[in-house]
Amino acid sequence: MHELAIAQALVDQVQEAADAQKAKRVVSIRVVVGTLSGVDPEALRMAFTLAAEETPLQGAELAVEAVTATVRCADCQAVSTPEPPFVYCTECKSRNVAIETGRELYIKSAEIETEA
């Protein structure tokens, strides 16, 4: 389950930012996950719960923002949105396409609670 490694990296990254701001705890984090990133949002959520244990992120809410896959066709120039995990032009069925969106995987924001 590679989601665990990804969740661990998310926790490390947010914890670093939280430490820098002398945060008491992290309330929630929002991550952007493309539908072609190979990350399953449900698995990521479970992995995140595990990775957040014993850290300021314990109990934090994980919001996953999905990004639809879009590809640009090199043959007919159409921009289309194939159904992942398949990557092809839905207009002419060509596989000669460039992925424009869908591979995203990053933290968009984190809500941090600091000492009052």
Q: What residue ranges bind Zn ion (CB under 5 A)?
A: 73, 75-76, 78, 89, 91-92, 94
**Pick 36 or 47: Cβ nearer Zn ion:** 36
Nearer to Zn ion, 94 or 101 (CB): 94
Minimum CB distance to Zn ion, residue 104 (Å): 23
**Nearest distance in Å: CB 69, Zn ion:** 15
As to burial, measured by CB atoms within 10 angstroms (0-12 exposed, 13-18 middle, 19+ buried), residue 28 is: middle
The pair of three-digit structure tokens given for residue 96, joined into one six-digit string: 């000669």
User: Which of residues 63 and 87 has its CB atom nearest to Zn ion in the complex?
Assistant: 87
Could you tell me whether strands 23-34 and 105-114 are parallel, antiparallel, or unpaired per DSSP bridges? antiparallel
- CA-nearest of 42, 36, 38 to 64 is 42
